[in-house]
Every structure is written in structure tokens, then in C-alpha cells.
Amino acid sequence: MFDFDMLGLAPALNEALKRANFTQPTPIQNQAIPLALNGHDILGLAQTGTGKTLAFGLPLIDHLLAQPGKPDPKTAKALILAPTRELVNQIADSLRTLTKGTKLRVATVVGGQSINKQIMFLSRGTDILVATPGRLIDLMERGAVNLGAVRHLVLDEADQMLDLGFIHALRKIAPALGTPRQTMLFSATMPKQMEELSRAYLTNPQRVQVSPPGKAADKITQSLHFVSKPGKPAKLREILSKDVDALTLVFTRTKHGAERLMKGLVADGYNAASIHGNKSQGQRDRAIKAFRAGDINILVATDVAARGIDIPGVAYVINFDLPEVPDNYVHRIGRTARAGREGEAIAFCSAEEVDLLRQIQKLMKIEIPVASGAMPEAVQPEKPARRPKNPRRGFKPKPADAGSKPAANKRRRPRGRRPAA
């Protein structure tokens, strides 16, 4: 198939696609949409940036447009679960673009925002509910939402949700959903747990795979710099100075590391902001909005943003710290080379991260080209010093010899009384 008109979508959807300048489906869309339109459960595997949102969003909207009636109060007709607040908002924005001018309503529920406002919005009912699992369970326990009318379930970026303990949340959510229902599961990687998840919640799914799991997008140029941990800030500034106006996403391993790095860059005159778990939802939204608009051109982030930023203009992704989970490297660098564009992914590796690098290269089945430095001998990261044991902890006095007599109890004179004269 060569364009969306040939997929058999509703006329309103074709018009929305034209307004948004979507003309040709991506490979994952080309394969998944016809199957989903026919009601099949879908197991979709594709790297980030290949258009998975439209792959499940278009058939979902098409089905809902064909259904009569409005949703009842506190109900939803379709549920989309995603691991992060940023990804929930990104999905909802894409769906609202496609449903503009139709009867369909899209609602979001995420942590970090007023739960009372979410309860109020859900009280009117919605056609599509996009949610993070934790906040959705909070609303279910408060009786603010009834999922019994849900006939379409989408699990997006399910592999990351597994890392976040999503399987326990899904066991609470799934029994509340309506049946029969269509379930679509999309992911960039396929760990063993994902196979178990698909067997448990999908019925005879059609598997759609456009690239091997763990493979990066073809238009991403990767490079590797071996650099000591103290030398990373200087190497970062060296790279940033070569293209000062480019949109650059820098990943760190920790929240404190992201904030410290961002403040150092700002102090040196760089136009930078940061997003991580210690930031409020409003702060994170404003930073991403400014980054998308080009008001700032350097965004320092932890993995909380690896799945939630869909900005076609990101030219560079720099792994200041390598991730501890190899799959996250694929998701990080997938923030560039989006929508068919080219991009560059740069990784720093210190001696403490050599083992992490080997795991990443094993997953991707490639060796990342070395741009500078030489591989150091792997060293284990320093562990915090253990507190010395208390020599008296667990001390027990030795029992008296069996032959010895216990000391006689002396009667104590009551305080404040004197013997009679």
C-alpha cells in the first residue's frame, strides 16, 4: 500500500490525516492497520520513531467512529496505557489531532496533576482514556471510573512498563475491563516477559515486526567516546560547541546528575533545561514545550523522557551516562532520526561502564564505532563503604558457672523512710 486512502479508513480520518500532512503510512502502520481494522489482536514490534501511535490510533478511532451513542458517565470505550506522563500526553495530542471535529473525546489521567480535576472530567465519560497505570488504579479505587465498557485496550511501550512493575498493575486493571475486547500491544523490544504478557492478555494475536528487537533506526549514526568519568563534562562541551544551535538531548543516569549537569551548562552560557523525576509535571511540560519550540536547544533528561519525547527536529542524542538497562539505550537514541529524518547518537563510556557497553552491543548485535579514546580495562563502580560492625552488637554475658551460687538479693530500704529510733 502506498497511501492512507487505500487503507479503508473513515472519510473523517482521511481528512484529518491530510490536514496533518500525513500521506504515506510507515511500514508498521502499513502492516498493523489493516489487521487491526479487521478486529485482530496485534503484537507490534518496531523501534521508536516509526509511527506506532498511528498504527494503533487510526484503527481505534475508526472503530469508535462507527459506534453510536455517547459514553456513559464515568466510563470509557477505549483504554490506552503508557509508562510515563510524557508519553501519555504525546499520545493524547496525536489522537486529538485526528479526532478534531468528530464526536470523540480524549481524556488523560497521569500522576503529578490534580486528581480532583481528573475525577470531574471523567464524571462526564470519555471515548478514549489515555493513562499511566498507577493513577488509573487510584481513580478506580475511588470509584471515579468504571472500565466495564472498555472494548479496546492498547499497551504502548509495554516493555518499559514491565521494568516499572506494570505487570502487577495490569493484573488489577484487566479484570475490570469489558469483554470481548480487542487488545493491541506495541513495544520496541521483546524481552521474555513480553511473550508471557502477550499469551496472557492477547487472543490469537497477529505479530507485526518491521525490524529485529533491539535494532536502532537505520538513519541514526552512532559513535562512541571512551572518556574518564571526570572528563565527561569537558567532552560534552567540546561536542556541543561544534553545532551550538542544534536540538540536543542529553541523557544521564540519575536525577541529581541531570540537574547538576544542566546547571553547569547554563552557568557556561548554554541554553539548557532539565526534566527528571524530581520535577513537577508542570515544569516537565514547560521544558519539553520550550525544547520543541526551539526556545532552548539542550534538554538534559533521565530515562523518564526516553519514551515520551516525539520531536522530529532532535539532531543529537548524547548518552552522557550509559543506561543500566541495555534496552533503554535503544529507546534513548530513538529520540533522534524520527519521521524519516537523519540523526546522530553519541555515547560516552568510562571504565566503570565498560560492562554496560558490552551488554548494549550484545543486544544490538553491533559494535558502536569508536570516535575517540581507547577502551579501558573494566572496573567495578565504587560501592559505598560499609559501616564497621559494632564489636558489642550481639554480645551476651557468659553464664555463671554451674557450681556457683547466685548472689543473694539484698533488701533495699524504701526511699524517704528512716528506721525507727
Q: Domain 4-209: give its CATH superfamily.
A: P-loop containing nucleotide triphosphate hydrolases (3.40.50.300)
- Choice between 163 and 86, residue whose per-residue pLDDT is larger: 86
Q: 410 pLDDT exceeds 80?
A: no
From 193-207, 221-235, 261-275, 358-372, the region with the lowest mean pLDDT:
193-207
pLDDT range class, residue 403, cuts 50, 70, 90: very low
Domain ranges for the chain: 4-209, 220-372
262-289 mean pLDDT: 90
pLDDT tens across 100-129, in order? 989 999 999 998 889 999 999 999 999 999
Cell of 284: 516537565
SS3 letters across 337-365: CCCCCCEEEEEEECHHHHHHHHHHHHHHC
Average pLDDT over residues 29-39: 94
On the question of a common fold for 4-209 and 220-372, the answer reads: yes
pLDDT: which is higher, 220 or 165: 220
State yes or no: pLDDT of 148 exceeds 60.
yes
* pLDDT for the residue 387: 57
pLDDT: which is higher, 197 or 156: 156
Joined grid coordinates for residue 357: 557497553
Q: pLDDT at residue 35 above 90?
A: yes
More confident residue, 307 or 230: 230
- Asked if the model's pLDDT at residue 310 lies above 60, the reply is yes
pLDDT surpasses 50 at 406: no
pLDDT tens digits for range 86-98: 889 889 999 999 9
pLDDT digits (tens, 9 = 90+) for 336-372: 876 667 889 999 999 999 999 999 999 888 999 999 9
Looking up cell 519525547 gives: 309
Q: Return d(Cα 191, Cα 188) in angstroms, integer.
A: 10
The phi and psi torsions of 126 (rounded to 5 degrees) equal: -150, 155
CATH code 3.40.50.1100 for 220-372? no
* pLDDT score of 416: 54
Q: How far, CA to CA in Å, does 281 sit from each of 268, 275, 278?
A: 27, 9, 9
DSSP secondary structure, 177-217, as one string: S-SS-EEEEEES---HHHHHHHHHH-SSPEEEESS-TTPPP
Q: Which of 49-53, 68-72, 346-350 has the lowest mean pLDDT?
A: 49-53
Give the strands of the sheet with 206-209, arranged side by side.
Answer: 106-109, 126-131, 76-81, 152-156, 182-187, 42-45, 206-209
What's the distance, CA 380 to chain centroid? 27
Q: Which pLDDT score, from 0 to 100, does residue 303 have? A: 84
Kindly report which listed range (55-69, 108-122, 212-226) carries the lowest average pLDDT score.
212-226
